Structure 1
């Protein structure tokens, strides 16, 4: 590859100052002969002087012959002589660039770069022969920009969402740090596809699939054509990497970019001097903090910073007539909204000024100080008792993993190199597990997918026997993985192996920059997938998976987003530590003295107040004695029954005591009268120490009615209906019906 740009520019300036006939000769090298039936593709002159350093350029005549076809140079360039001089100079510039590209084709050893140079050389020849008025690359590489938003726009969005609330001076420093990161990324030279494949195999022990390799090759050649080559071929329009590429390309290269940027910054290198030295140190410190933030946003599917419509609605609102002044807009910008395309399928959600998932939330009254949380968390590392790094008691699979009882193996069929014998044994065993546990799936279909080179399987081996696994197919460029089969042998189920497999699969996919799972689950698998975080509300854009995943009749599509901040395989330990942290914080809060206002009820004439109503008593952990608590619960249920009966229409005549003016002699015949009002008073006075007393009073109301009135009277019918209603309610609340001879159902 040509590196001496100054030499290239000098060569081009000399060519531009050549006489017209010499310029025509150079253009003739890239134009075929126009003589009828001549197949000569380019003009080649006869040698006029012996090899060696030229002493003087010989004079050129347009009637000189081509050594290939014996036709004059005029037959090669006569169609160019009619063009304006400006167009001729433009073609001459392209011709000189084509010579440099031809040198690159001869010297380049990387096959992918060489392919690109050959495509470019062919396009330059077509342009010089006037077949095309402009360069045509759409058939191979499309036109930039290739992704929206670009890296520059996304970085600006990150600064707005993360640091927009800071003062003007602080946010300016963050913007400068972001611009320096973009500058360094823009100057970065990506690995060739071959180099990247070798590094991936050496570091991860695993090759990317063919689709992933092809996607990176395309992105690399686009960078070479639109970003790198224009530096020494100025006939091509130059673009910046950060302006034409976006999230997908950055996810492929950021692993290496981050490592190299961090090493360079930690050594204090920027490539450009910044004065004064304090300013330089401040910029580098902010860059080192911003790089991991950018990494999180880069791989977070829920990040609004990669929304192409970020900020469009806010700009529109600020230009409307009658809108707030620039000063008020600055204050109210956080409440304005914009539509995002990353909402739930079928609807849009507001995204720009909605608080992203990684932003700090506003502190509320009663929040525990962050410094206290940090100190308490550090203290947990020094407490006496079981070590916190020990595996949680209920996590059986991880205990067995540490003991060497179970192992996980990522297996898949390959064509080149051939699959080893151990992997084939695992694949055959997995086929048997899936066939046995998924009887509705055809065995031929299971076999075809397991041995397909695009599918991989996470196998769970216990005591050298495969007991389960998850077969999946990753789609790196679409940003998701399809779960195809998931099963554990029946005698090994309900031990946590299914969760163990899924958690490790989540971690594996996040290492490969995939942050969403999709699967079709039948009625028997829905419960399992819900426990693993799957949902029927698919937040993943449909156009990115439609036509890629396999559809099953009678199954339900479910999805699961992956959070890059969570280590799923360590989730049980994380939850355990969180519980200990919460308990420690509660203990610290309880040790703090706290005062409550005094009682004011005695000023109102109250002589007694229940202990549970005293402010602060419940917070001390005091509880009612079991017997009192049970009685309180019973009174609540009895009051519920009594209220229901008072509202029951046929029982309205039993609400108040019987008026003797309407029923003469009633109290002569009825020795123990009863009504709902009297029962309410007794309930309030804690008379019903046992449920049987309440039951007896209620039945007495209906029995008194039957004793005093004629059997076929309207009041007796009301009593019978009301008693049946009472007994139904009594049984509904779980009370047993006493063995009582007066009950007349």
Structure 2
């Protein structure tokens, strides 16, 4: 296609279009919804014309049929006269047109120009009028478009529609562009494959979130305006632009222009293009979509903001990896992989013979990096990681962020230590906590070296976890179903034989026949660890659902694959599988060589299940030790080490924030200059002010503290504080009506009346909680007021008085 010259454009332009082209117009904005509505209103308007007026509108593009006449289109003789009268209405102009009116150019009648349309029905005439409006819009695009490549496309489509009006046929784009779809699989199919491949193993709720993110990305891509070839050439001069230019032309013809010219069939970008175009535009799309969301984050609902800003960057990073990977399976035409999260049949009885096989473990998990911390920013919308990821909705329990970060055990039976931890965290405003969580979970915000598997902080199972994400290893729950009347798959039988060999080599003291009998017993199942198609380890177990426990029979990893974290990751997968099945107790007999491994996996000699529940069910072994493990349904075990690492990082960041607020400098130690090699920790200046206590002393005091034992002392302290002459600013909570901005600054207020009420309700089970609340009064006062005010002076006086009283009553060290 060649760019239209001014003479070409002038020759092919009806007078009505020349006049309308003077209006303000931006071609790239025609696809906006407001402009699309105007176009539809315009088409409805012309289709409501009387038939003669409709024929006049079409006749503008129809040549005269009188013999020897070369007139290319009807020109209304009344246009010039009507244009000179500002008060002439459209109705008056319509009434002056008849089939006998003569053309201003050739003096032949309108009938001579539209004779071919005389026998056409109303539907056909209305269709042609739609083409006329589209021609007018394309003419505007040709006139106003500044980019040469885009102008060529507009002009080609403009001439095509004019030709279709004359020939009364439907527009068909011909030539080297080809017909859609231009690539298989298309972008939409590739993204769906990506969701299945990367997130198919997630439960339905989390899988739905991934589908929502995918829909957001596809919708944005369908609405995006692609970069022109000329602009792209300037930005990337070293790239070959021919393929991109072809795709850009296709995009204009089949995706963009049909949005405002519905005479053409309209296609979504994601349905007709594939991997090549997505590669070309992905960096730009990624930047634009993230900038768009960040600029609008303050106008989003909290739920959507969390979803987009926490999950979307990592989602795009994982998609980019698959997009540029040379061996990614998601772009295979014959890709087919069932989601690995498909529910497995639960055993109905102890002797259930129902065999089952899970789909291959899909590599990668967005929630592995974001859910432990980033996924629970707003307790109104998100549940706990375990409840959300692995439990039914009926068992989901909404929790606060502080509970998620610091509570590693169920609420029942928690000790004072966990209460103290949560109380410490509540000292921070929720905005600060959310900001820290967002920083820790966003790789772009974290500074320092990239984490790697050689890092001393890397977890035992990190290598295995990374290999699973890359698809190097897979986990399958398999069983022999030969006795159920259904034949096992060939692959299952091969894996069972390989498992038998692994157990036999790694457990030499177990008779081979005994191993064979249990591995192939339909009542036993095995979690197989498969690496590159070959079994390298597994756990053989038998589930007793009515007794609420599972017996682990064999557990082994082949010798040349040990010390890589496979054993830990294998057991974690087994735990997650049993949580889905609602079985929370493991029992096993471990010999002297296996006790260490099972201890690392959370097993102990203290059995948490009633003896009557397992006696007569579990197989006993001479010389072995019975060990048990109780599963916590709130813990996502395969990602537990990642969660702990992020929790530690979050706490460390919060401590840094606190240190910035409270800064006190002591002179450096000089004793080392005199030859002293070491000193006791307690002799370091200021160490005790940080709250540090010698371990034995801390344990001793914590063991003594109870709500009842502390109550008399704390009650006396509160009475002394309330009766002090400088206590008047702190007796009652600050009234918002008197100090409107107070609660905008102070997010965690405290006063003596509140402390007294907490004391009466026996809330102070530890002296540190009481001291922290009292200290909060003084800190809040100094934060809101300037140092020279009377309030700050009262706070300083009361603080000194309080700590003197604490020493007097031996609540703190003297």
TM-score (norm 2): 0.38
Higher RCO (C-alpha under 8 Å, 6+ residues apart): 2
Whose Rg is larger?
A: 1
TM-score (norm 1): 0.41
